[in-house]
Structures are given as C-alpha cells and as structure tokens.
Structure 1
Amino acid sequence: MRNLKHLHIVGNEMKFIKPFIQYVNSNFDAEEHFFLVLNSNKESSVEMAAYKNVKIAKPFDCKNSFLRKLMLVYKVPSSMVLLLWYFNKAKKIYLHGLFDKKVIIFLYVFKSFSNKVYWQMWGGGDLDIPTKAQSRTLWYRITKKVKGRFSGYVSYLPGDYKLAQELYGSKGEFFEALMYESNTFNEVELNKLNDGIVRIQVGNSADSANNHFEIFNKLEKFKDENIEIYCILSYGEKPWSPGWAQKVIKRGEDLFGHKFIPVIDFMSFEEYLGFLGKIDIAIFAHKRQQAMGNTISLLGLGKKVYLRSDVTSWELFKDIGVKVFDVNELSISTINSCDQQANIEMIKSNFSKEKYHQQLRDLFEGF
C-alpha cells in the first residue's frame, strides 16, 4: 500500500459512517481516503464490501458478553499491529469519536502519532466529566494524556473544544466542521396534521443516556391531555444496559397506555425526516451533547425542542440565536410562529450543505 493522505478510524456506528464514506468518495478523491472500521459485525462487513477504500477489522464483535471479553485476548494485540501499520502510512488521521480503549492504549504507547491526529469529538460518551473517584483512576490519567495532545480537535460546538481544554489540557487547533451530513439542514415538505393531537418525541435512540424515565415522570401530569408520545427504540441500545428498549416500552405503556408509541423498526433517512415532520415537540435529556442531527433537523422544521441548559449544544444554539427550551420547564404548548420562523432561518444559515462541504474541504486540505 502506498502512503495514505487521509486515514479515518471509525467504530461500528454505520448510521453515520456509511453516509460519510459515500459523501467523501463522491465529493473528494476517494483514493486519498482510507477507512479502518473497528469493532464491527458481520452485517456491517457485508454492507461495506463494495467500498474499495474500507477495511473491516476482524474478528467481528460478538453479542455474547463473555465471548466478547474472551476475544479481547486476540483483538487487543492484533489491533495494535493493525493500527501501527496504518498509522505509519498515513499523513493525517481522523478519529471519528474516541470510545475504543484499544485506540486509547495504542496512542498512549505510541504518542508520537498524536501530532497527526484530528479528533472528531462526538460529545456524550466521548467527552465525559469524570466523577471525583474516576479522576483518581489510572485509566482516567491515561485517557487525559492521550486526549490532550492531538494536533486538531474537530467539532461544530466551540463548547466541546472548551470542555476538552478544561478536562484534558488540550492545546491543539480547533477546526469547526459539521462532521456529518446528518447535521445539515434538510428542506422537507410538511404535511400538517390538523387533528389537535400534540405529538411528542422523547429521546433519539434506545441508549439509556436519553434518560427516558426522567422525562416520562415529567410528562405524566399531561397524560390525560390530547397527546401522543413517541420513542425511537430501533437502534442505540448499549451493551452496558441490555434490555433498555423493552424497559422503556413497558414503562411508557404503563404510564400513557395507547398514547405511548414505541418506534422499533429502523427507518431510512427520508422516512425519518417524514416522521420528524409530524412531531410537534422533541425532548432530549442527555447530560452531554448528543442527538445533534435530530435536534438540527427538528429546529429546521420549526419544531419546539427541549434540552438541558448545562450542555454545550444549549450554549451553541443560544449563541447563534436559536430558541430552545429547558427540560426542567416542560409544557406541551407548541412553539409560537415568530420563534418558529426565526429558528428555521438560523438553522438554514448555520447548518447548510454548502457550509458542510467547505468545512470538510478546509479540514482535508489544511496541511
């Protein structure tokens, strides 16, 4: 293999990564970009087989937690060799999120590679404020050293970079980029449902970080109103919270009966935009920046969005003049037309596809 110009290290989040690979291959020189997919499964391998600039690391992940841990005996050393081979070849390396402990250990041992690494920060799970106990652990000290010495930090939230500086002492350059096309504004023709029902979306996935139960408790006082509550549970359940989707369904049905509607079938992007178009209110109670693609799409569609006021996404929207609402002050009234129209215009301006393309061009060509 000849020298690589751009090496992308990605996990198994095909929902974001596959469209990104397609976009890069269609809009930039595909021969200059190579994607190494770690922690994958057999289904993803089949899905990505058509791409010549993608390598799926083996062995595949196993759903059985015991076997998954057992496989680490092989996966850790083999991953080290694989990463060393590709990192040596690459001129510029992009980490699409940094959740993988194997990658963190590798960069701790081979710290000289850090000067060509650009960390695309994913927020929740990627930028976590440690508890006092966690901050004393050896693992946190290793993580802090690794995450603090990269050449570049990529995000569209300046607050995430500030957080990286505070947590890890990061001194590398900040690159503003929307990162994935799902974070851009999409024009959707809305079919208004004038039936008087207020449709509320709680969370964006089956990840327990959505804090579904907390929001259910806040919404319980409205259960006799003309509402429907939707939860997207078709993806995102984490190994450390198995069965979470079923728990959410049971709790939702117990509290709201037929007014609770779990979404358990995966939708295409176009289908999902159509679904969002019917939502009136969305509530995202993540304690870290997450669900930004959903949030941007909903705001661009003129929907009312609730967030925590202590997350970096809240800060971003306030800075650019987008009206969002505090989860601690929930109501089921919809957004007024003045705020709605102002939000749509600001989202169009700040999250356009043209801006996305130019930011990627600047990132890739900025040697």
Structure 2
Amino acid sequence: MSSNNQKLKQSIILIFHIMKRIIAAVLILIVYSCSGDKNANVAAPAPSLPVLTISNAAAVTSVTYPASIQGTVDIEIRPQVNGNLEKIFVDEGQYVTKGQSLFKINEQPYREQYNNALASLHAAQAALLNAQLEIDKLTPLVQNKVVSDYQLKTAKASHSIALSTIEQAKAIVASAKINLGYTLITAPVSGYIGRLPKKQGSLVGVTDVEPLSRLSDVHEVYAYFSLSENDFIQFKEQYPGITISDKIKKLPPVQLLLADTKAYAQSGHIDMVDGQFDKNTGAITLRATFPNPQGLLRSGNTGKIQLQLDHANVLLVPQESTMEIQDKIFVFTVGADNKVTKQPILVSGKSGTDYLVGEGVKSGDKIVFSGFENLQEGTVIQPENIKKQLAKN
C-alpha cells in the first residue's frame, strides 16, 4: 500500500514539473509575441528626397541632317582632241592654279593640219591678188572698147570667189589653231587634282567614258542636305520673313559635324533651297556654304548639318530626373499627399541637359529630382523643395 502511494506521489511531482515547463514556455511565447507586435507597429520614417517644381521656359535645341560636301567648282578634265598622252605635268592631289599646264597630247598631227591650213590661206590670198591684177588690166581696155566687158565681169567674179576662198581658209586656220591649242590642257580654275587613271603614253579621246582627272575648287565648299516635307514646314515657320529668300537672309549660322562627330571650326550659312521636292524621296535639298581656307574639306566628304531651333515656351525636365525603361522615359511625380507615382513622359527634344516634354506632365507639377533609383510606386516621401537652388544655378 505504501508502495502505491509512493508511486502516485512521484507521478504527481513529474506532472507538476511538466506543467511548470509548459507554462514557462507559453509565457516566453507570449512575451516574445508581444515584443514582436510592438516592434512591428513602429513605422519606418519617410525618405527625404529633393523635389523640383517643373515649369515652362525658353530653350534652344539642335537637329542634325546628313550632308554631302562638294567644292564650289567640281569639274571633269577631259580631252577635246584625240591622240597619245605625251606628258602629265601634275600629280594626284596636287594643288594647281588657274591656267597651269596639266596634260600634253601629241601635237604633231594637229601642227601639220595647222600648217596645211596656213598654206591654203596663202594660196587663196595669192589667187585674190591675181584676180585683182586681172581686173586692173582689163578695166582700161574695156573703157577704150578694146575688149568686151564680158572679160571684165569674169575677172570680177573670180575676184569674189578668191575673197570667199580666203574667208574659208581663215576659218580652217582658226579651227586648226584651236585643235592645236587643245593638245595642251590647262587648269580652268584653281583647285586640287583628283585621281589620274590615264598614264603617259595612253591613247585618249573625246569619247572616253573616264575623264583624265577631276579638279575641285574648295576654297569654299557646299554642304547639301535634305529636309522632309514636315521638317521643311517647321523650318519655314521657325524663321521670320515672307518669302524663302527673306527667310534665308535671316537664318542663323549653321554648324558642320564631321564624320568623327567633331564640329568643323568654321560656321556656315544656308544660301540655297531647291526649287522642288524630289518626287522619289519626298524631300527637298538645301545648301550650306562653308569657308575652307586651309583646304581641310574636300569634295566627297560627308558630315552632318546641325541646325539650331529656338523654342519660346516649352516644358523642361532635367535629364538626370528621368529614368529609361524599355525605350520609355519616366519621372516620379509627387502628389499632394507626398506619395510618388511613376509617370511616363513624351520627349520631343533636348536642350543642353534638359528634355523638352510634350506629354505626361505639365507646368507646376512636382517631380523627384534625384535619389529615386530604389523608389517604389506609391511610396510616401518627405520632399525637399530645390526650386530656389536650381534657379541660382
């Protein structure tokens, strides 16, 4: 009996210890849970970010158009008579002056033609003299009625024929002289010689497909570029003046960007607008002239014409306040409750470090200026107005 009591007493003690541990564990859980709820109820402070109020302002933008460059004179040098190319006086790329000798074609055949023409002229002059002598001889004889006037009339007719023969001979001499002069080819203008496909001794002719060379006068160069119909309409509306000629006179200087994207040192001016649109491309050609005192530009160069466009009242947004996602540009706008919204915008151009915005935001809207890289949609921020700081800058 005492043994059973002893076992019962031990079981009660064991149960008591188990219950004690369970109660302690429950209390620990309760305390931890309460502590967790307390920490969870403490909200993180709103991030402090710079906020800019955007507004309309004047701006200048630039737009570029591909351009091809030519010298003010860009001509082919071709032979005007046939023959062997006897001498070449210049080298490829050489600068030549107007009247300088370039090529010499064998002149011997043309020298002989000229000599023959001179001989024919001299013979015609002798025939004229002979006809005049016959007239002088017959005139007194006819007056004294020694011979009939028929012979005198015949002599006068021969004299007229001799005069005509002389005129014809003179024309042949002049033509032979011209052809002889064509054997020496000189520079019609000052400029740079191009490639020389024909070598000394080659047979050249007036019907050759390929010229002897090209000569470019590049003390000034023309840069030709094209505007689409829409661009041309904007171009006309951008500048004052009634006619195209008036507008051209008031155009500001233009810049030429070379193939390496660097700006050419000299500024140019637009001085020509084509008379009609190209029906195949729907574009119209304009020409800008640039001085080229050092000869840095050559015919065949390419580049881009950069036009400056003035905008009187446009909405500007700093580029650094935007982010690009999948070819779309966004800003974080700030609402009245300081909650941010990711807003897409339509960019119509660039001016310095600013975007010109056409749609998406309006003047007076507030945007997050910077520090939005990890910002989430709907986040409440503590704005720091930086409008005054930007105005000072």
TM-score (norm 1): 0.17
Higher fraction of strand: 2
Relative contact order, higher structure (CA 8 A, sep 6+): 2
| Higher helix proportion | 1
Larger Rg, first or second structure (1 or 2): 2
TM-score by length of 2: 0.16
